[in-house]
Amino acid sequence: MADSTTPKPTPADPAPPVAALPATLALAHFKPELPFAVALSGGADSTALLLACALRWPQQVRAVHVHHGLQAAADGFVSHCEKLCAQLQVPLAVERINAKHAPGESPEEAARRGRYLAIARALHTHWGGTVRDLALAQHADDQVETMLLALSRGAGLPGLSAMPEKMDRHGLVLHRPWLNATGADIRQWLRDSGVAWVEDPSNQELQFTRNRIRQRLLPALQESFPSFRQTFARSARHAAQAQQLLTALAQQDLQTAGDPPRIKAVQSLDEARQVNLLRYWLTSREVQASSAQIDALLVQIKACTTRGHQIDIKVGNGFVRRESECLHWYNQRL
């Protein structure tokens, strides 16, 4: 629940003068609809992005901070965000959520999902509900980490496409203007400007895969392949382009098969197109199906040659079932 109804900046000491923004952090290509918001965690990256945006678009920037309630340091993040926004005269909304993960769900995914939903709720609630554009501070190092995580999990093209520079989600337009910048560039600019940030203690905990990638793999990649950020970004763009083609094909096939899809129409496709269609259909319902679940579903679809054949198989956090001549997905809570 949000801490306030209509957040406004609180008078405070003026922000100190800052160093010139380096070329790698330039925002000339970033063209949000004004006013817009910045997702502010209080860490170096989001602190720098809020500062850069507030300098470029005075009085046109809002900030949203999500208190996850997962660690004792969270209250310190809120205090930092409140102080920074007061200095910059940027209205701040604070949303508090319970980010505990459900059985079978990763803590990172639960926190991410809860964070985006909370930010969407804040922007729909505050400032007259007129703010739809949201700037996120993910950068080139985050992009590489995302791709490496996707590779380690055997992800397909959607995972290898990593994070797009612009996308729609939960009724918002998400922007990532710093995907070509490095974390080192961002922190150096803050140091040169004398601007403080807060360090998340969990970033040092090596039980989290992303932290091990950041602390161990990225330095090794930098030593062996100094241009790895650029080459990884190029591969992500290639994957995204290929995925666009597959999405267009899936849309065409789903239009033919119907929504929900008719079993005979799915059977008429070759296996690769069946997989592509099923993944697109399920993803449109925000269902993340594993490869094993898709394979099992394909077996059932192939075997469905009689009127009495039943399909009732676990997919994502629900079930795909046969009803008459079509496939339906149901949430397990229904």
| DSSP-derived secondary structure for 225-268 | -TTHHHHHHHHHHHHHHHHHHHHHHHHHHHHHHTTTTBHHHHHT
Q: For residue 270, is pLDDT > 70?
A: yes
Give 173's strand partners: 133, 168
Instruction: Give the chain's radius of gyration (CA, Å).
Output: 22
Work out the percent of the chain whose per-residue pLDDT is above 90.
74
- Spatial distance between the Cα atoms of 113 and 317, rounded to a whole number of angstroms: 15
Question: So what's the pLDDT on residue 60?
Answer: 97
Domains and CATH numbers, the chain: 23-229 (3.40.50.620), 258-331 (1.20.59)
What are the pLDDT digits (tens) for 67-108?
A: 876 676 778 899 999 999 999 999 999 998 876 655 655 666
What are the pLDDT digits (tens) for 127-141?
A: 988 899 999 999 999
Q: Cβ distance 282 to 329 under 8 Å?
A: yes
Question: So what's the pLDDT on residue 105?
Answer: 55
- Spatial distance between the Cα atoms of 127 and 192, rounded to a whole number of angstroms: 33
Calculate ∠ Cα 93-94-99, nearest 5°: 140
Interacting residues of 234 by C-beta distance below 8 A, sequence separation 6+: none
User: What pTM value is reported for the model?
Assistant: 0.84
